[in-house]
Amino acid sequence: MDTLHIGLISVSDRAANNLYQDQGIPTLKNWLSRALITPFKFQTRLVPDEKSIIEQVICELVDECSCHLVLTTGGTGPACRDVTPDATLAIADRQIPGFGEQMRQISMQFVPTGILSRQVGVIRRQSLILNLPGQPKAITDILEGLKEEHVLKVPGIFACVPYCLQLLEAPYVETHSNVVESFRPKNLHK
């Protein structure tokens, strides 16, 4: 089984300047370790809210480190310093609007300000790049979806990530269905 290479970027001025402990990367590592059956390796980066630095780091993870999937956390709101989506779009070859739409849909189940999120999903070369919020609970909710009494009510975005990666010719990704069930056409299951 091939190894999935995942880049994790936490975007935060305060965490990058050691003013507070980053929670984004540990949350992502924990969730992905619970969700993935497929072998994987992480590359992690902690950067300030600087568009040029975010662009550079995404390009490094995709172009030099050959990450199949890059997940960012933080910097997705409307504030002047929230530039993660802008940096992501600047380096993108193509956009996948459905990811951002679903992330906002999930967020709005909790707070009306979810509509202010500017999260995007894009492709650069053969890599999928997704912007996630910075709060640990919101990261988990968006990846996993919303469940009521163990019944999935609103699918999380990660349910579509394995099939998207398969279309991009990344390794075949399998997940633990008790965390998130992967959706792909039946004829494309291994």
Instruction: Walk me through the domains of the chain, giving residue ranges and CATH numbers.
Output: 4-188 (3.40.980.10)
CB 103 within 8 A of CB 160: no
Q: Is 6 left (phi over 0), alpha (psi -120 to 50) or beta?
A: beta
| pLDDT computed for residue 103 by the predictor | 95
- pTM as predicted: 0.95
* pLDDT, tens digit, 9 for 90 and up, residues 70-123: 999 999 999 999 999 999 999 999 999 999 999 999 999 888 999 999 999 999
**CA end-to-end distance (rounded Å), the chain:** 12
| pLDDT computed for residue 189 by the predictor | 62
Burial tier of 58 (Cβ tally within 10 Å: 0-12, 13-18, 19+): buried
Confidence of residue 140 (pLDDT cuts 50, 70, 90): very high
| pLDDT computed for residue 190 by the predictor | 66
Report the 10 Å Cβ neighbour count for 6: 21
Burial tier of 66 (Cβ tally within 10 Å: 0-12, 13-18, 19+): middle
Confidence of residue 187 (pLDDT cuts 50, 70, 90): confident
What are the contacts of 59-62 at 24+ separation with CB within 8 A?
59/91, 59/124, 61/7, 61/9, 61/127, 62/7, 62/91, 62/124, 62/125, 62/127, 62/129
